[in-house]
Structure 1
Amino acid sequence: MKRKSIFFVTIAFIAGYILGKQLDQKQKLKPENVLKMVKTKYQKQYEVSGSWIYMKPELYQKNNIQYDVYHGGITKQIDGKDIPYEFFVDAYTGTLIEIFPQHG
């Protein structure tokens, strides 16, 4: 009976370890890193004069798909004018979901 208990405890420990590793792989990116990725991408084409990002992810829906996203913005210089843009980036993959001129 004691061997069975040790066997089941060992199996439970291994299963918990594997599950924990899988959960670690599904962590959100740091918002600072997301902002840096967006800025780097757009600095190749435009001069970026400002940027911001919300630190807490939010839900965002596009094409009937719901994402956990970081919402942020950059200011690009185009033809000598500062044009503010907003963006939404997938919080897990860093994929740019949408970028558009800021309203207002």
Structure 2
Amino acid sequence: MKVNNFLAGVLTGVAAGIVVSETIDRLNKNVSADTVLNTVKEAFKTEGPIDGSWIVMKTEPFQNNVISMDVYRGGISRIKNGELEQFEFAADAKTGTVVELVKR
């Protein structure tokens, strides 16, 4: 076996390992709680101003029928037609997608 072929094989293996490692890390990371809250706030702002908002920075387990995931819990309040409206939400920690929205 030539040294050049050996080195090419080693470098290819290292490059493949780095790509696989980065992909696995990306799949296991959560979206930040701040990003989730900003996304939800922007969606609510399309209907009018927001009075207040909050989010819990730590994820918690969530189950809806057969679907299980970790979620961030948060809330939004606003004044609409002179009355206070409050909403609580749960958002998937991996994608930031709102999976539950409840008007309180």
TM-score bracket for the superposition, by shorter chain length: 0.7 to 0.9
Q: Are 2:60 and 1:65 equivalent residues in the alignment?
A: no
The aligned residue for residue 29 of structure 1 is: 31
Q: Separation in 2 of the partners of 1:41 and 1:98?
A: 14
Match of 2:56 among 40, 43, 54: 54
Q: Separation in 2 of the partners of 1:8 and 1:58?
A: 44
Scaled by the length of structure 2, the TM-score of the pair is 0.80
Per-residue Cα deviation, 1:28-87 (whole angstroms, up to 9, x for no partner): 111111100000001101321000000011111113101211110000222211122110
Let me know the Cα RMSD of the aligned residues: 2.3
Scaled by the length of structure 1, the TM-score of the pair is 0.80
Q: CA deviation at 1:24?
A: 2.9
Unaligned runs of 5+ in 1: none
Q: Which stretch shifts more, 37-46 or 22-31? A: 22-31
Q: CA deviation at 1:16?
A: 2.8
Q: Separation in 1 of the partners of 2:24 and 2:57?
A: 21
Q: Separation in 1 of the partners of 2:80 and 2:65?
A: 29
Match of 1:95 among 94, 97, 102: 97
- Partner-residue secondary structure (3-state), 1:17: helix
Following TM superposition, the consecutive aligned residue runs of length 4 or more in structure 1 with deviations greater than 2 angstroms are 5-16
